Structure 1
């Protein structure tokens, strides 16, 4: 039995953040809210005015089993208004369920296991897997939202002593940076210190995300 997905933001809420789809466009991107800033930057830089964007709540990543139903809900909600829908999620911990649901719905999605891989470049990420299996990754979004998406959900604000148990098998934090922002670099270094991990920064830009959107 499928679970009821988390409520989606209504179009008025999305419009206030510049994310609501506009009528008359041909292609709709249904994306994770964690990618909104990067998608809007790519759309603006490339003049992709035919791409409209609607985002699902980024905190669905805390419950990956809810992502397929939420995506299906969004597809069904908007399908009649667009000629094509493209899902800007990777597998994101759904264990192949999102890919299967997209296939059922007849919509395409980004290839890869998660956003770390397509920001780093899926092929490059896979090639490094053997040497980076003990790495904890952050993106620009996760650096900005470290407390909301890492520190508090893991209970480290209430039980900091759990840190050494949770991260016993990690040896470094790798910040996959989409932008050159000294303030984010400082926040990422602070996150690494709080987790007791060695810090590395890798500038990736938008990685494979740009190519995926170009296909749309």
Structure 2
């Protein structure tokens, strides 16, 4: 995707507004930038533009609500509509409450693992006993060291692996695109964590459904 920053930049810095003239602004997590831009392009949604907060905020979910509030305040006057492309993402309901207060909508669901798989399907799996799975998306496979290995100290203290992941049984790779190199890397992530591996091609799931709803409200 020409012009899109590296995954490292999306992690650290996010993404500046892509088209200031579009009437709808999507404020999203940097981990979703490629997927959102791919959907916009595939569907001809040129009336929706994107800006992203740093993906690293998922390591500090207490920062997400305030950062979203600041982004909405900064851009509100320039757009007819703003849509927040975050799920709850560890904010304990605070992000939803803030979006309600600000009068903006957001993606439904507890986190991206849920809406990529489909919130209903993910809930059924969880209720059916899938509570010992560790999930990775395309972005998190590519940024595994930045989001998992290093923040958890496994690069310095590999002996922590069994303590941290001892209650997990498998790593589930939820793939948004079919990519042999990413599949191989995801399998290596499972090996490094000492977990069984499961591959699920989810595509964009409820993310696409949510954006279709926004795209139709011009």
Among residues 178, 187, 190, which one is paired with 1:189 in the alignment? 187
> 1:49 and 2:43 equivalent?
no
**Distance across 1 between alignment mates of 2:117 and 2:18:** 28
Gaps of 5+ in 2: 1-8
Among residues 69, 78, 82, which one is paired with 1:85 in the alignment? 82
State the superposition RMSD in angstroms. Answer: 1.3
> 1:62 and 2:68 equivalent?
no
Contact 1:121/1:207 (8 A) holds in 2:
yes
Matching residue of 1:204? 202
> 1:24 and 2:14 equivalent?
no
Deviation of the 1:49 alpha carbon? 0.1
- The count of residues paired between Structure 1 and Structure 2 equals 202
Matching residue of 1:123? 120
Among residues 152, 174, 179, which one is paired with 2:150 in the alignment? 152
TM-score relative to the length of structure 2: 0.90
Matching residue of 1:170? 168
Name segments (4+ residues, structure 1) moved above 3 Å: none
**Distance across 1 between alignment mates of 2:147 and 2:181:** 19
Deviation of the 1:215 alpha carbon? 1.0
Gaps of 5+ in 1: 1-8
